[in-house]
Amino acid sequence: MMRRLWARITGGKQKAHMTPLQPDQLAQMVSMVAATRPDEIGCDACYEQLDRFADLHLAGKNASDAMPLVQDHLDRCAECREEFEALLAALKAEVESA
The average confidence (pLDDT) of the chain is 84
Q: pTM score, two decimals?
A: 0.64
3-state secondary structure of 14: coil
Tally Cβ neighbours within 10 Å of residue 43.
14
Q: Which residues contact 8 (CB under 8 A, 6 or more apart)?
A: 28, 78
Enumerate residues 6+ apart whose C-beta is below 8 A from 75. Answer: 81
pLDDT in tens, 19-57: 777 888 888 877 777 766 778 899 999 999 999 999 999
